[in-house]
Amino acid sequence: MLFTETKLKGAFILDVELREDYRGGFARSFCAKEFEAHGIKPFVAQCNLSFNHKAGTLRGMHYQIAPACETKLVRCTKGAVYDVIIDLRPDSPTYKQHIGVELTESNRRALYVPQMFAHGYQTLTDDAEVMYQVSEFYTPNCERGARYNDPAFGIEWPHEVAVISEKDANWPLMETVPA
């Protein structure tokens, strides 16, 4: 696997090293030893699969607080998504900054999301599927979210939002969240 650290310390883009022959290809998508060598928490508590019917669907921006802060490894297994993470670590030099990465079934790219980063994505194709490896169990009382269109972050989504849950559309604005 090829690890590229982003401008947000601790967040990585992971590319597979594809080995191909007449049968097709093979690539490692997860290795605890390689994750540890890059300072990445390799523990997986849950694997989740998200199906999205319509291009323009937006899910996010989700995170969990202590004692259930989670890391995620996110990969698009069908179609394409624009995946975004926001650094919400108050002591970080990149606090409130974000990056966006296109994850597609053909580029096989993954995004590692550190603890206290909000995460979300917008589908670029119909019938997009996203797989998450998550380090902590879903803990409803620790669940939080940031508004996808909060001016505090300035995220430029590639398309108009076609579908979004009521919950995701109504996360509080950053200015109203207690420090």
Task: Give CA 175 to chain center in angstroms.
Answer: 23
- Concerning whether 138 is annotated as a catalytic residue, the answer is no
Catalytic residue among 62, 63, 119, 121: 62
- Concerning whether 53 is annotated as a catalytic residue, the answer is no
Catalytic residue among 98, 132, 138, 148: 132
Q: Among all residues, which ones are annotated catalytic?
A: 62, 132
